[in-house]
């Protein structure tokens, strides 16, 4: 306005001078330059008045809201500005529909300030949010036909599809959620073995007046993919039969996602391959005789592994492990491990077949173990012959074993005893965990049973049996706390006069037992020296949580442990240990450092360990 009035004054002065007959004066240089310049278009701005979440949506996607981001020097003429204003309400409604608002009130208020000013205020009242009123899911194709015919597995699959639908009645109807729910449902169908599943029709009917959405979906499952052929790539020295045995697939078996993932995991855990990938050929024409594609990369035939460490139980440690994955060109795996610690020295060795039918491996193994206690030294030698089967959830080991045990006491009478035992045994582990390496929810159960016959210098000859069980449970508590609990029980059944190897008896104390006490120190005393007991009970309760949001893998913990080994449960008086600790949840398992107080010893003890005991 100021620039317009100044121009009018100058024009009037020039006209008066001409009327008086005065010559026209030349304009000053600055005035000439200013006249040559085109007037700059006034800046445009938009103010959005809406709920915070919707305001961010509109400011990001609304065309008129982006005028403030125009490049310097860019102009917007009056016609373009008017077009943006006129089109804004319809665009606002389209954007709000993606968030479930189908009946908004949109008001555009133009500024009436200074001449040429471009400012718009967008006022939004979104109205009630539309919510899902009803969901109807129908399934056609092979799955639908089987379900209608009464096939239980097919009916369960359809029921699971409907139950797991991610946008149920009562939820806000948002376009991103609608899209994600359809994708998740389709993925679930394909994971159930219908790799060619697709949507035949989907629709969302929105009643604006009722603010309700009714969803209708029809899925075409396509055929159920069944196992027909195994295509293996990457084998160099190992037999194809080993890969086939690990598949554990019968012709015609449904090829679900879980089946393929379990097969891939068995290949990876077999110890023969550095990597393994299992995929399904999605050719619908071959669904009744589908191909499973397996690509493996064989691991080196021989591997040496050196390690050093320290344990609160046995002191500093050095170890050497050798694995030979094809002994003398035969489908056999041999492993030998030597461990030298301050208080414990061991050798374990095993030769086993590659996995055969039903995933079983035959094995022969041996072990030599020398362990120093506070008051005695125990030397054990074992030879076993058996078979084992390992899966993600279950481990089974059946074996017969011959064992010799020698024990020397270094207090009192310095007793030296020798015991020999022959036994038949079964060990099993059952896991239902969200993660085997870093569990936070679920449980594991370990059971051991044995029946044998023993004789030795410290007692009579006779039969014995050994029973052992360990339960460990994990449970999230709220959003940040995690609880774990353990109960351990053991019993050797024999006549009092029968001597059994010390390694068949029980001792408590130390890491993964009763913290706050020395390793294997919670045990009966016989003839002035510590000895293994026939009965065992330990338990533990622990609460843990991340120390900070910036370090989610570092947890703090509080715990209480209790337990002891004794010669009979009637004489078992549990020792109690309490403490605090820190856990680092590393990729190979938790690293634990604990500071524990022993109620009986009235002292503090440091404990540290790696991994999970099953």
pLDDT band of residue 40 (cuts 50, 70, 90) is low
pLDDT band, residue 113 (cuts 50/70/90): low
Task: Read off the tokens for 350.
Answer: 């095993």
Share of the chain above pLDDT 70, in %: 89
- Phi first, then psi: what are they for 505, rounded to 5°? -90, 180
Class of domain 131-220: alpha beta
Q: What would the 3-class secondary structure string for 102-169 be?
A: CCCEEEEEECCCCCCCEEEEEEEECCCCCEEEEEEEEEEHHHHHHHHCCCHHHHHHHHHHHHCCCCCC
**Residue 34 pLDDT > 80:** no
Residues whose CB is less than 8 angstroms from the CB of residue 338 and which lie 6 or more positions away in sequence, other chains included: 319, 320, 321, 346, 347
Asked whether 381 and 393 are in contact (CB, 8 A), the reply is no
Q: How confident is the model at residue 11 (pLDDT cuts 50, 70, 90)?
A: very low
Residue 594, strand partner residues: 581, 607
Query: Which of the four pLDDT bands, split at 50, 70 and 90, describes residue 45?
Result: confident
Q: Report the C-alpha gap between 413 and 36 in whole angstroms.
A: 117
Rounded to the nearest angstrom, the gap between the alpha carbon of residue 526 and the centroid of all alpha carbons in its chain is: 48
Do the two domains 42-129 and 355-610 of this chain adopt the same fold? no
pLDDT at position 426 = 98
Return the closest-CA partner of residue 483 out of 473, 496, 470, 498: 473
Which DSSP category does 311 fall into?
Answer: E
Are residues 215 and 136 in contact, defined by beta-carbon separation less than 8 angstroms? yes
Higher pLDDT pick, 84 / 534 = 534
pLDDT band, residue 118 (cuts 50/70/90): confident
d(CA 517, CA 603): 9
pLDDT for 7 beyond 60: no
Let me know: does 499 contact 455? Beta carbons within 8 Å: yes
Q: At what angle do helices 175-191 and 257-269 cross, to 10 degrees?
A: 70
Extract the tokens encoding 562: 């209790």
CA–CA separation, 461 and 456 (whole Å): 7
List the domain boundaries for the chain: 42-129, 131-220, 227-298, 355-610
**CATH, range 355-610:** 2.40.160.50
Record: fold of 42-129:
Ubiquitin-like (UB roll) (3.10.20)
> pLDDT over 90 for what percent of the chain?
67
Q: Quick check: 528 pLDDT over 80?
A: no
Burial (CB count <10 Å: 0-12, 13-18, 19+), residue 452: buried
Q: What is the pLDDT of residues 309-320, one digit of tens each?
A: 888 788 888 999
Q: Rounded distance, CA 351 to CA 386, Å?
A: 11
User: Does residue 206 sit in helix, strand or coil?
Assistant: strand
Which pTM was predicted?
0.73
What confidence category does residue 2 fall into, taking pLDDT thresholds of 50, 70 and 90? very low
Q: Tens of pLDDT along 200-248?
A: 999 999 998 889 999 999 999 999 999 999 999 999 999 999 999 999 9
Distance of alpha carbon 302 from alpha carbon 563, whole angstroms: 43
- Please give the mean pLDDT across all residues of the chain: 88
Mean pLDDT value of segment 68-81: 68
Q: What is the pLDDT of residues 273-331, one digit of tens each?
A: 999 999 999 999 999 999 999 999 999 999 999 988 888 788 888 999 999 999 999 99
According to CATH, the topology of domain 227-298 is Ubiquitin-like (UB roll) (3.10.20)
Q: What is the pLDDT of residue 74?
A: 63
Averaged over 247-276, what is the pLDDT? Answer: 94
- In angstroms and rounded to an integer, the radius of gyration of the C-alpha atoms of the chain is 39
What is the average per-residue pLDDT within 25-34? Answer: 48
Q: How does pLDDT run across 545-578, given as a tens digit for each residue?
A: 999 999 999 999 999 999 999 999 999 999 999 9
What b-and-e string marks burial along 62-101, b requiring 16 or more CB atoms within 10 Å of the CB? bebbebeeeeeeeeeeeeebeebbeebbebbeebbbbbbb
CB 377 within 8 A of CB 408: yes
The predicted model gives 429-456 an average pLDDT of 95
Confidence of residue 71 (pLDDT cuts 50, 70, 90): low
Q: How confident is the model at residue 19 (pLDDT cuts 50, 70, 90)?
A: very low
Alpha carbon distance 285, 437 (integer Å): 40
Residues whose CB is less than 8 angstroms from the CB of residue 414 and which lie 6 or more positions away in sequence, other chains included? 408
Q: Which one of 73-82, 420-429, 587-596 scores highest in mean pLDDT?
A: 420-429
- Read off the tokens for 371: 């362990």
């Amino acid at each position: 306005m100021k620039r317009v009035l100044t121009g009018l004054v100058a024009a009037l002065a020039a006209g008066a001078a001409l009327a008086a007959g005065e010559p026209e004066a030349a304009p000053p240089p600055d005035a000439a330059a200013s006249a040559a310049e085109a007037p700059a278009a006034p800046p445009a701005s938009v103010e959005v008045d809406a709920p915070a979440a919707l305001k961010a949506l509109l400011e990001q996607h609304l065309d008129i809201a982006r005028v403030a981001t125009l490049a310097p020097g860019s102009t917007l003429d009056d016609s373009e500005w008017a077009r943006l204003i006129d089109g804004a309400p319809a665009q606002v409604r389209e954007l709000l529909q993606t968030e479930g608002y189908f009946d908004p009130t949109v008001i555009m208020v133009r500024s009436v300030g200074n001449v040429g000013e471009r400012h718009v205020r967008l006022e939004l009242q979104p109205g009630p949010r539309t919510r899902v009123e009803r969901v109807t899911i129908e399934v056609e194709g092979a799955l639908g036909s089987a379900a209608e015919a009464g096939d239980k597995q097919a009916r369960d699959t359809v029921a699971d599809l409907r139950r797991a639908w991610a946008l149920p009645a009562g939820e806000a109807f948002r376009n991103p959620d609608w899209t994600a729910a359809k994708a998740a449902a389709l993925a679930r169908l394909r994971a159930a073995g219908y790799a060619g599943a697709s949507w035949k029709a989907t629709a969302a009917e929105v009643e604006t007046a009722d603010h309700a959405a009714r969803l209708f979906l029809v899925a075409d499952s396509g055929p159920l993919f069944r196992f027909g052929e195994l295509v293996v790539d990457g084998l160099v020295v190992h037999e194809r039969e080993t890969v086939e045995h690990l598949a554990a697939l019968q012709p015609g078996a449904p090829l679900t996602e879980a089946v393929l993932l379990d097969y891939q995991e068995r290949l990876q855990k077999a110890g023969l391959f550095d990597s393994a990938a299992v995929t399904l050929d999605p050719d619908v024409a071959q669904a009744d005789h589908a191909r499973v594609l397996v690509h493996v990369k064989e691991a080196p035939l021989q591997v040496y592994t050196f390690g050093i460490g320290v344990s609160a139980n046995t002191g500093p440690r050095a170890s050497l492990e050798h694995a030979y994955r094809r002994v003398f060109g035969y489908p056999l795996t041999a492993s030998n491990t030597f461990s030298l610690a301050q208080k414990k020295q061991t050798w374990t060795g095993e030769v086993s077949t590659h996995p055969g039918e039903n995933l079983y491996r035959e094995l022969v193994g041996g072990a030599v173990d020398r362990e120093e206690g506070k008051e005695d030294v125990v030397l054990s030698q074992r030879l076993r012959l058996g078979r084992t089967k390992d899966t993600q959830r279950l481990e089974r080991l059946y074996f017969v074993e011959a064992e010799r045990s020698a024990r020397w006491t270094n207090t009192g009478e310095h007793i030296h005893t020798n015991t020999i035992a022959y036994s038949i045994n079964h060990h099993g582990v059952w896991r239902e965990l969200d993660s085997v390496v870093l569990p936070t929810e679920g449980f594991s159960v370990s059971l051991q049973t044995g029946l044998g016959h023993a004789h030795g210098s410290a007692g009579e000859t006779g039969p014995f049996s050994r029973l052992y069980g360990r339960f460990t449970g994990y449970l999230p508590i709220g959003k940040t706390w995690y609880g774990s609990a353990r109960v351990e029980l053991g019993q050797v059944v024999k006549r009092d006069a029968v001597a059994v190897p010390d390694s068949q008896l029980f001792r408590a104390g130390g890491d993964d037992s009763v913290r706050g006490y020395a390793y294997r120190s919670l045990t009966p005393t016989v003839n002035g020296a510590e000895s293994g007991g026939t009965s065992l009970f330990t338990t533990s309760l622990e609460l843990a949580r991340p120390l900070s949001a910036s370090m989610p893998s570092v947890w703090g913990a509080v715990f209480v442990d209790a337990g002891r080994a004794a010669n009979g449960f009637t004489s078992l008086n549990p020792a109690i240990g309490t403490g605090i600790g820190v856990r680092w949840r590393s990729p190979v398992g938790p690293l634990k450092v604990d500071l524990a107080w022993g109620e009986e010893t009235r002292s503090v003890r440091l404990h540290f360990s790696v991994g999970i005991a099953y």
